[in-house]
Amino acid sequence: MPYDLKEIAAISGMPGLYRLVKPTRAGVIIEALDEKGTRSVASARNKVSLLQEISIYTQDYDQTVPLSEVFDRIQQQHGSGLALTHKSDERELTALMEGIMPDYDRERVYLSDIKKLVQWYHVVSKALDYQAPAPDEADAPTDAAAAPKKAAPKKAVQADEPGADEAMSTAGIIPAAEETNAAGNPEAADAKPVKKTTKKKAE
pLDDT digits (tens, 9 = 90+) for 126-172: 998 887 766 555 444 444 444 444 444 333 333 344 454 555 544 43
Confidence grade of residue 107 (pLDDT, cut at 50, 70, 90): confident
The pTM of the full predicted model, rounded to 2 decimals, is 0.67
Query: How far is C-alpha 113 from the geometric centre of its chain's CA atoms?
Result: 8
Query: For residue 158, which of 112, 123, 120, 121 has the smallest C-alpha distance?
Result: 112
90 located within any domain? yes
Nearest of 163, 167, 170, 174 to residue 45 by alpha carbon? 174
The CATH code of the domain that includes 40 is 1.10.10.1650
Where in the sequence is the domain holding 38, given as residue range(s)? Answer: 8-127
Number of domains comprising the chain: 1
* Residue 201 located in a structural domain: no
Give the pLDDT of residue 166.
Answer: 52
